[in-house]
Structure 1
């Protein structure tokens, strides 16, 4: 993506991102997860979704792309490290009963089933 996007392009990208996050949240609920929070902002960055299921809290990065062929480049170590820094800040607020935690990624593209990558990053390992 270009770093010199117009305000309209940034608004469109933000809107598509929000739609992708809503789609991912609905998919997770269908998989038995409970959504605890959406778009949690920290000084280190934003966590798209926080979900809980049977003793586990997942901090989820959602990536939506117009073409499924672009999903391979949607997530990288730098992006996951930013999410991990944000998780370190808020994990005690969401995993306060001794739940296990992990960072997951959900990849979305039109006409394709969501791809759920579990344990994409281990922030406290």
Structure 2
């Protein structure tokens, strides 16, 4: 596989994408348990838990929904990225690493081991912010957005149970 082209963005752009996804998850009722959980197998960007017996499920009358764990891979890319916005970077080898890393997490936190688990993928689009309106690019409707002085990030797609 050819090497990806050099990035015009600083290394922390991926962290900004993770910040965006973490805020979105929290706004939808998830609790972010860990960020950048790392072990010898690799790293999981976000580990989140949806509490099935929270206030929302009690109000709706659904008291049987168990807590769920999501191991979330966040891909932050600019327009025209070499890997289809990060989708092509979730190879079988990457999935295997995430699977093993999740197993290490569950061994470290055995109280979570019986929860239903899934592997989610979040696709984040990043573009430089510009004071000039002529340079602002329109993006497809996003699920959630975040702007900094330098960048605008849009959560373009969230894929629950993307693999596993």
TM-score by length of 2: 0.62
Runs of 4 or more, structure 1, over 4 Å off, are none
SS of 2:12's equivalent?
Answer: helix
SS of 2:29's equivalent?
Answer: coil
* Superposition pairs of residues 36-115 of structure 1, within 5 angstroms: 36-53=33-50, 54=52, 55-67=67-79, 70-71=84-85, 72-94=87-109, 96-97=111-112, 98-110=114-126, 111-112=139-140, 113=142, 114=155, 115=157
After superposition, the C-alpha distances for 1:19-56 in whole angstroms (9 at most, x for unaligned) are 11111101111111110010011100001000000210
CA distance in 1, matches of 2:94, 2:48: 19
C-alpha distance 10-78 of structure 1, shift in aligned 2 (>3 A): farther
Bigger CA radius of gyration: 2
SS of 2:102's equivalent?
Answer: helix
SS of 1:17's equivalent?
Answer: helix
Moved more, 103-112 or 65-74: 65-74
After superposition, the C-alpha distances for 1:42-80 in whole angstroms (9 at most, x for unaligned) are 100001000000210111110011027632424222222
- 1:88 Cα offset (Å): 1.1
More helix by share: 1
User: RMSD over aligned Cα, in angstroms?
Assistant: 2.5
Specify the alignment match of 2:161 in structure 1. Answer: 119
Moved more, 109-118 or 59-68: 109-118
C-alpha distance 91-106 of structure 1, shift in aligned 2 (>3 A): same
The alignment covers a number of residue pairs equal to 118
CA distance in 1, matches of 2:110, 2:159: 20
Q: Where does the alignment leave 5 or more consecutive residues of structure 2 unmatched? A: 53-66, 127-138, 143-154
Q: Where does the alignment leave 5 or more consecutive residues of structure 1 unmatched? A: none
- 1:10 Cα offset (Å): 9.8
